[in-house]
Chain A
Amino acid sequence: EAQVTQNPRYLITVTGKKLTVTCSQNMNHEYMSWYRQDPGLGLRQIYYSMNVEVTDKGDVPEGYKVSRKEKRNFPLILESPSPNQTSLYFCASSSGMSGGPYNEQFFGPGTRLTVL
């Protein structure tokens, strides 16, 4: 089954404790992206990647890191989480001749993160 998986689905942590949210897709997609969803603010793009070893900032990259060492994986790293990073996080992927968001984005199920 074609899908985007995220782990963990739920996470409660404390301020300053480094964490990683994994994202993996099995569709051989070139483009991958991370979003956070907050009430009243909608979906905001954190980072995206057009291909392996190519990453770029979205609209709200502060406090986050990403890496794209393999085509299928795009982990989101919070090196020193803070309470304002409490949110619902989505990973997404898409494919096309050259990737990019213009193709249908397939979203993962989401990771609900709480930072105390």
Chain B
Amino acid sequence: QQQVKQSPQSLIVQKGGIPIINCAYENTAFDYFPWYQQFPGKGPALLIAIRPDVSEKKEGRFTISFNKSAKQFSLHIMDSQPGDSATYFCAASLWDGDKIIFGKGTRLHILP
């Protein structure tokens, strides 16, 4: 009940395309869903996060879509750029909890 399943494991997209990364969770108590972005040789950094009271959140070219009934959420990157090439992790936790569960990550490569 604590897993967060992330797919695909890797993704290659042409510049300007819209990569989509999907995550599914099991614990219905989870109410905070962040995405972290990690560049090679660096630690992850928070990219965008959503709570289940909204179905979509946009920050610049990054959008989270959230489907509470399906227990799924996804990250969309509009007008993708080679600089977006990184590993992306979804995660889930309780808003006031003390543990966070990460997905296994998606290695994204944007072709120039």
Contacts and interface: CB of A to CB of B under 8 A. Distances in A.
Interface of A: 4, 31, 33, 35, 40-45, 48, 50, 56, 58-59, 90, 92, 98-102, 104-110
Contact of A101 (B43, B89, B99, B104): B99
Interface of B: 2, 6, 9, 32, 34, 36, 41-46, 49, 89, 93-105
A90 B43 CA distance: 7
A50 B49 CA distance: 21
B101 to A, nearest CB: 8
Given A102-B93, A108-B43, A42 B6 contact: yes
A50 B32 CA distance: 18
Contacts of A104: 34, 46, 49
A6 to B, nearest CB: 9
Contacts of B6: 42
Contacts of A59: 2, 99, 101
A70 to B, nearest CB: 20
B103 A42 contact: yes
Interface centre among A44, A45, A105, A110 (most CB of B within 10 A): A105
Nearest to B51: A102
Name the 9 nearest CB pairs between A and B, nearest first.
A107-B43, A42-B104, A101-B100, A43-B102, A104-B46, A42-B105, A102-B32, A101-B93, A102-B95
